[in-house]
Structure 1
């Protein structure tokens, strides 16, 4: 299963090795000893890490395109523009300078939920950008399964899309030059990983292995069709299994790439979690504490947070655990030493720090050319106006449990599915994780301030999930509301965006008790637990995704248009240049005792 780095993606490593080889006669033992020199006992290795890129080739707009940092002049927290693959490529190339041993790694969700520039072409542009960027290896993330495992294998191995074909005459997609790892994703038929579980390369005689996993709960956050025929194993069990296998093969320097993460206590990108990791919470803490101590460093993702922490291993020894936020706004530099005698990572040597991908550096010309190529093809679709807004309408960038853009999307779904022949919906639910961006008033292109283009709408709703309308009882609707803050969602609530419904959440309580049941009203009338209601939701939610099994009890299903089609139709019907859409009042969910969204 293992592979050594002998393909084109390691040309720079091979060139470095060749350069060293030219000097080899100067370092043979006899000559070195005669001149009082000793061979170094360790070899330096630089890892540059990213995660959750999500096809953001162009600089992300709004809050998705900033990072929070401390202004050294004032001591205040400020938002700094960051991201864009043209700047990321420059930053990584500059970071590699002076390092003879350097690898670029990632922790999943490189593709999926992407802006139109990448998503329109099934993320082929992002794979091509990562090839140019020099990515060596990545774990899969949950979004790598948005279009199913066959599409993931196509991204790895190449070939034209099975239905859309190739996007230019005579141009065939070549696939990823880097290695996708999926150690804990196995076929139900064969029981074997669908992709390699680990990848091994050699750094001047020291073997270094990378094990890649995604979160065990991937089936809960991906459509059923996307994970059909697959099983997702436990992260810790899988990593420890393959760490043991690597050690049996003489690979003692091991790095884990995990698409699961944590929540630091501060949003500042370079926040210090403390020596014992007390400043970070979430699933990665428990995972890291159980992973084999032979794993010398852990690169994580999924939560879109930034941290460079130390979390104790099973022996209580601190170990580096990092994440570089999302969308290419940061990269993590991890420096470590490899013991040439034992072949292991010298754990006390490991240092890690996140760096901002600032936009005040030169753009990488090859990335500019790539973006220009696909923009030309996409322009007729991407630049079409679909609506107008009066100010920023925040979705991803809102920390409130009720998001302004969430209200707009839920309204669009209800409006489109309320007619009797469209499903007769009386209320609509929208999952917060499906809102991928903000609608930004200030134009980033030539369309004009306040104009919403199809490309911008696509960036907000990139999944094109088909909508469903089902009949649920009032009791089941209340159960849906309770599942937002209980069960799988108790620790990190997933508060659904609603239309047609109002209610209160008491965040001073715990679990399902947070929903104030008497406050749940439809059109101002208390919901009747025994009555039946027609409820709209996208196919992901309607299938029980995100920890909402109550939706699966619905009956009389009607399948409607896609969420994106309803969103663009609503913007076109409810806004104009003379009467742009206003920012919603956020008056549907009353939150008692505070609380912010964790997605």
Structure 2
């Protein structure tokens, strides 16, 4: 019996040794992208109220934003195979707490958040290329009116990498890196970053002199073969251009989606599976068909000011991307009281977050250092001066134009007859506090750019040509984007008239503008150098500088002002 047992055991062992090994399937990998855009240095909670449609159809309005809460939310959501990216305008047009320190605290906060790659936005160019490179590389060399390294005595630069695939120096080299491949072990993901080609029209043109901005889609597509050769299994594009018009940010059907990023997306190589966008301040997560029926592509944007981040998941089987999805997550913040007196509070049905302690301490230290200047009462106003959501004429825009005329009217200051402010240069409403008091922080929020006022001579004919540029792009396409005048000037327009002849009349001090007469015209240096497409300003003669735009507004409000009425611009377009 014992021999039989041994024989049977030997047979069993032989049988086991001939059994083929169990085959395992390809490795399944999920890669996460955490995406931001258009933070604009909002270190403190911006008191943004976000409406969220719940599963039962009800709508909750919750507070959102704040750098510490955003950092905490990213930490809570981050997986083991994650990359944090951004689509630009992280700095520039920032609140006073960040701007006083040249946005160095915002860069430090983004480092603490774990940001790795970001496209350049247009506002990263606001202070010129040398300052942009200092922000990336660090150091205390001074390139602006404000002293760098004022908060900590030193500045190490960004730990993350700004990218500019379509921005070239005169010698043909990139201003900043164009693309990278991120290794996740089983898979590799390519990343391309670029600003919109229209940057030279969105900043003072002298700030980008010598730089060449090329077509976004062409620049991105040209990098695809290199990234694939370097092992990329799919490619993500970070681009500071965006869409708008979505009826609801939380509707993935993206009803009403439009905007300048869409033609770019349609031209992209199929290897680019995800586009993280920005610029428009809209929030959306859309699935769009690729041209030629070659699959679908994600298009995302996380709104503005850190009120959202986008959680993007890419699923790979082996090296093949088989699924992708994206969700915008509201960064619920602290409760606040809205303008109508209602309390905007977090909703427990949505994710709740704890602020990141390191970022919270950084924000407190920064705001504390800036507080004395922020709280200084520097002016008075008779009541609220609203802004216009589409950058048309508004009480606050009229107030700024009047301040700029007053600042440059004296012969020694420019001898101005008229002043204009571009609608996009007005960043907020002015809402005075007790006794009509306005703080420096409030006024800075309205005019954060630190532009210089320039006064020049234009003929009446040139003045009309300038106003026509409100209604036509350089490519001859129709647009409507207003120049708001000082109170002594008025004009009317009709959009049904031919391009180049839409201005019906112009009047200065109640008299028709004479095409052959010369007028002294004030504008900020951004539009005076051709920004926003107002190239007629560049034809101006006898150009003189007239001080800082913020200083002009502070001086105008110092003794108190009434809120100006609207009515300087008359729309005569027939309405059906």
Q: What's the TM-score once normalised by structure 2's chain length?
A: 0.86
Of structures 1 and 2, the larger Rg is shown by 2
Q: Work out the CA distance in 2 between the residues paired with 1:34 and 1:56.
A: 61
Residue of structure 2 equivalent to 1:524:
510
Equivalent residue for 1:333, pick from 311, 324, 329 = 311
Equivalent residue for 1:424, pick from 415, 429, 435 = 415
Residue of structure 1 equivalent to 2:269:
292
Residue of structure 1 equivalent to 2:139:
159
Equivalent residue for 1:486, pick from 467, 472, 475 = 472
Residue of structure 1 equivalent to 2:280:
303
Residue of structure 2 equivalent to 1:258:
239
1:508–1:592: 8 Å Cα contact kept in structure 2?
A: no
Query: How far is the alpha carbon of 1:547 from its aligned partner?
Result: 0.5
Equivalent residue for 1:218, pick from 199, 204, 224 = 199
Deviations 1:70-116 (A, max 9, x none): 5778867x8653222122122222222xx322221100111111111
Residue of structure 2 equivalent to 1:558:
544
Deviations 1:402-456 (A, max 9, x none): 12211111111011111222112111111122222232346xxxxx584321122
Q: Work out the CA distance in 2 between the residues paired with 1:165 and 1:93.
A: 30
Q: Secondary structure at the match of 1:180?
A: strand
Residue of structure 2 equivalent to 1:350:
324
1:51–1:300: 8 Å Cα contact kept in structure 2?
A: yes
Structure 2: gaps spanning 5 or more residues? 1-18, 334-345, 347-352
Q: Secondary structure at the match of 2:533?
A: coil
Query: How far is the alpha carbon of 1:125 from its aligned partner?
Result: 0.5
Pair 1:582–1:201, CA change in 2 (3 A): same
Q: Work out the CA distance in 1 between the residues paired with 2:472 and 2:253.
A: 27
Residue of structure 1 equivalent to 2:155:
173
Pair 1:590–1:558, CA change in 2 (3 A): same
Q: Work out the CA distance in 1 between the residues paired with 2:61 and 2:562.
A: 25
Q: Work out the CA distance in 1 between the residues paired with 2:562 and 2:437.
A: 13
Equivalent residue for 1:477, pick from 447, 463, 471 = 463
Q: Work out the CA distance in 1 between the residues paired with 2:552 and 2:91.
A: 24
Q: Work out the CA distance in 2 between the residues paired with 1:139 and 1:283.
A: 17
Q: Work out the CA distance in 2 between the residues paired with 1:416 and 1:287.
A: 43
Q: Work out the CA distance in 1 between the residues paired with 2:360 and 2:380.
A: 29
Matched, 1:45 2:31: yes
Deviations 1:49-79 (A, max 9, x none): 1111111111225xxx344555778867x86
1:137–1:179: 8 Å Cα contact kept in structure 2?
A: yes
2:50–2:64: 8 Å Cα contact kept in structure 1?
A: yes
RMSD of aligned C-alpha atoms?
2.5
Pair 1:354–1:180, CA change in 2 (3 A): same
Deviations 1:462-495 (A, max 9, x none): 1111101111111111111110110248455321
Within 5 A, what are the aligned runs for 1:63-78? Answer: 65-70=48-53
Within 5 A, what are the aligned runs for 1:58-457? Answer: 58-60=44-46, 65-70=48-53, 80-96=62-78, 99-162=79-142, 164-167=147-150, 171-188=153-170, 190-266=171-247, 268-274=248-254, 279-316=256-293, 317-342=295-320, 345-346=321-322, 349-359=323-333, 360=346, 361-395=353-387, 398-399=389-390, 401-441=392-432, 450-457=436-443
Q: Work out the CA distance in 2 between the residues paired with 1:37 and 1:387.
A: 77
Residue of structure 2 equivalent to 1:23:
none
Q: Secondary structure at the match of 1:484?
A: helix
Q: Work out the CA distance in 1 between the residues paired with 2:394 and 2:52.
A: 24
Q: Secondary structure at the match of 1:212?
A: strand
Deviations 1:140-180 (A, max 9, x none): 111111122222221112112426243256x4211111111
Q: Work out the CA distance in 2 between the residues paired with 1:590 and 1:71.
A: 42
1:148–1:228: 8 Å Cα contact kept in structure 2?
A: no
Q: Work out the CA distance in 2 between the residues paired with 1:74 and 1:207.
A: 40
Q: Work out the CA distance in 2 between the residues paired with 1:243 and 1:198.
A: 9
Matched, 1:546 2:544: no
Q: Secondary structure at the match of 1:211?
A: strand
Q: Work out the CA distance in 2 between the residues paired with 1:417 and 1:184.
A: 39
2:470–2:481: 8 Å Cα contact kept in structure 1?
A: yes
2:205–2:530: 8 Å Cα contact kept in structure 1?
A: no
Q: Work out the CA distance in 2 between the residues paired with 1:126 and 1:168.
A: 12
Pair 1:369–1:337, CA change in 2 (3 A): same
Query: How far is the alpha carbon of 1:204 from its aligned partner?
Result: 2.4
1:272–1:279: 8 Å Cα contact kept in structure 2?
A: no
Structure 1: gaps spanning 5 or more residues? 1-32, 443-447, 576-580
1:472–1:553: 8 Å Cα contact kept in structure 2?
A: yes
Q: Secondary structure at the match of 1:379?
A: helix
Q: Work out the CA distance in 2 between the residues paired with 1:305 and 1:34.
A: 57
1:67–1:269: 8 Å Cα contact kept in structure 2?
A: no
Pair 1:86–1:525, CA change in 2 (3 A): same
Q: Work out the CA distance in 1 between the residues paired with 2:107 and 2:379.
A: 31
Pair 1:590–1:66, CA change in 2 (3 A): farther
Deviations 1:1-55 (A, max 9, x none): xxxxxxxxxxxxxxxxxxxxxxxxxxxxxxxx99978455331112111111111
Residue of structure 2 equivalent to 1:570:
556
The number of residue pairs the alignment matches comes to 533
Deviations 1:181-219 (A, max 9, x none): 11111111x211121101221112311111001111111
Query: How far is the alpha carbon of 1:352 from its aligned partner?
Result: 1.6
Query: How far is the alpha carbon of 1:363 from its aligned partner?
Result: 3.0
